Amino acid sequence: MCPDPDLPRPDDIILQETAGDATDRIQAALDRARQVGCRLILGPGRYPTRGLVFRAGAHLHLSESAILEPVGDYEAYAETSVDVIAEDSDRAILVAKGAKDIRISGRGVIAAPSSDFVVGALADMGTHLPARLRPRVLVFDGCRNVRIEEISIRQSPMWTLHLVACTDVVVRNVAIENDPRMPNTDGIVIDSCVNVAIEHVDVATADDGVVVKTSRRTDGSPVGPCRNIRVHASRIESRSCALKIGTETHSECAEITFSDCSVVASNRALGIFSRDGGEIHNVAFRRIAVDCSETPDGFWGSGEAITVNVVDRRPERPAGAVRDVVFEDISGVMEGAINLVALGEADMSGIALRRINLQQRLGKLGTGSCCDLRPTRADLAPAKDATGRANAYVKNALGAVVGLVAYPDGMPGLFAFHVHDLVCDDVHIHRPDPLPTGWSRKRQIMTSKAFVSDIGSIVWPENGN
């Protein structure tokens, strides 16, 4: 029988609940514990805190009924700033820089202050209006041998776990539950990392569930490539994209596998989005059950089981190519279509769909009737007469969301544009009979040319099958 991890070992340092801000007590005890090579255990109770720093060898263990309570004030994290900006955020609650052998464990909870960063509502978009400056829960940058296990995280105001340029990372048996209307609350962000295993996690969030990307630092330099990433046996619920590569792709993303996962009550299930010049290749999605429903236009996409797109959004650097991607044994329900679209200078090639079995059903919102190509150049540099929210949605002078493009001849089951060497083997998309109004009679539409005057005005050719 395995010993109870909450039982203290002889050399552990244990903190108990006291009234008031616990930041200084926790930081001092965490530093002392790492110096002697033991754990810092937080006993049952509530621990209000500002920012905490993990240095080499630090191990924080949250015992069952221990609740770490970050305060809801952005200025409280001025001393835990980070070097990768996300949605204007340059701060986090838990940070590490260049540390090795760091760990967070236990059955306790990090109760983050999401509600303190809601400043209004965007009812027509289906989201809260968030504060411009919000802290991430965790940013570990340039770290090696990282373990995050067993803990629960609730109500993150921004990205939840952000791993930047880390090597040899395990995230296992972690539960994340965020506000389903709070934008930019990605669950686990694997950013320019190497050798990462995400296993048996349960993520429920408004934004992307588990996302692989390659960002830039504050000086504009790419952080680096992302390689050898494995996401396995996890449950994801997302109103954006559950299992995703992109959108930030300033460097290469390669050797990435998502397997044996369940995507439930979500918007997009599986997605690859090339935008910033880094190539994406050697990717596999295998044995994944999906449940995809339409969402309001405030969320990118609407009910697609599989989405891959290449869209140029930076005049100085076109999007990178996407190649050698496999989707195998994907089954479930979708209210949108499978989308494979390359509009950039780079191409999309070597995409394989094997043993795909999907039911395509009519959604209640009608938003699945468009091909969603956001984010676009308009999201980085909106026109003067545009309205909306930065990096979320932009409406043109006519009030239309830029990046939503009507399918030619209605919504098909599979839409492929400018895809080379596409393999469809044992692909079954079961559609209603009779077809709903606005649906294409063609189950698959595969085209190679289109007239593009801007990203919101595309005329597809009439050919297809």
pLDDT for res 63? 97
pLDDT for res 43? 97
Does residue 464 form part of some domain? no
Q: What's the CATH code of the domain at 345?
A: 2.160.20.10
Q: Rounded to a whole number, what is the distance in angstroms from the first to the last CA of the chain?
A: 60
Distance CA 250, CA 279 (A): 9
Q: Among 170, 233, 177, which Cα is nearest to 209's?
A: 177
* pLDDT band at 465; cut points 50, 70, 90: very low
Distance CA 140, CA 144 (A): 10
DSSP at 318: P
SS3 at position 389: strand
Residue 463: is its pLDDT beyond 50? no
pLDDT for res 451? 43
Does residue 280 form part of some domain? yes
CB-based contacts of 4: which residues, under 8 Å, 6+ apart? none
Does residue 1 form part of some domain? no
Mean pLDDT calculated for residue range 378-384: 78
Q: Which two tokens stand for residue 396?
A: 């043109």
Q: Among 120, 228, 215, which Cα is nearest to 159's?
A: 215
pLDDT for res 389? 78
**What's the domain count of the chain?**
1
25-32 long-range contacts (CB < 8 A, ≥24 apart) are 26/52, 26/60, 27/52, 27/53, 30/54, 30/58, 30/60, 31/55, 31/58
pLDDT for res 391? 74
Does residue 396 form part of some domain? yes
Q: pLDDT tens for residues 126-147?
A: 999 999 999 999 999 999 999 9
pLDDT for res 460? 55
Does residue 81 form part of some domain? yes
pLDDT for res 303? 97
Q: pLDDT tens for residues 310-330?
A: 999 998 999 999 999 999 999
Pairing of strands 241-249, 268-274: parallel
pLDDT for res 2? 56
Residue 401 or residue 281, greater confidence: 281
Q: Which domain holds residue 445?
A: 13-459
Q: How far is CA 82 from the centre of its chain?
A: 19
CB-based contacts of 445: which residues, under 8 Å, 6+ apart? 407, 408, 409, 412, 414, 415, 416, 464, 465
Positive or negative: CA dihedral 231, 237, 243, 248: negative
Distance CA 431, CA 131 (A): 42
Does residue 3 form part of some domain? no
Q: pLDDT tens for residues 21-46?
A: 999 999 999 999 999 999 999 999 99
Does residue 381 form part of some domain? yes
Does residue 339 form part of some domain? yes
DSSP at 442: -
Q: Among 306, 307, 309, 305, which Cα is nearest to 335's?
A: 305
Pairing of strands 175-177, 202-205: parallel
Q: How far is CA 184 from the centre of its chain?
A: 9
pLDDT for res 363? 97
Asked if 351 contacts 419 with a C-beta cutoff of 8 angstroms, the reply is yes
Positive or negative: CA dihedral 214, 402, 269, 345: negative
CB-based contacts of 163: which residues, under 8 Å, 6+ apart? 140, 143, 146, 169, 188, 189, 190, 191, 193, 196
Distance CA 56, CA 98 (A): 8
Q: pLDDT tens for residues 342-378?
A: 997 899 999 999 999 999 999 999 999 999 999 988 8
Positive or negative: CA dihedral 412, 373, 138, 126: negative
Mean pLDDT calculated for residue range 109-137: 95
pLDDT for res 410? 92
Distance CA 194, CA 436 (A): 46
Q: Among 219, 252, 60, which Cα is nearest to 140's?
A: 60
What percentage of residues in the chain have a pLDDT greater than 70?
A: 95
pLDDT for res 448? 66
Q: Let me know the angle formed at the C-alpha of 48 by 44 and 50, rounded to the nearest 5 degrees.
A: 135
Distance CA 343, CA 273 (A): 12
Distance CA 419, CA 274 (A): 14
pLDDT for res 4? 75
Mean pLDDT calculated for residue range 246-264: 98
Query: What mean pLDDT is reported for the chain?
Result: 93
What percentage of residues in the chain have a pLDDT greater than 90?
A: 83
Mean pLDDT calculated for residue range 204-212: 98
Mean pLDDT calculated for residue range 149-163: 98
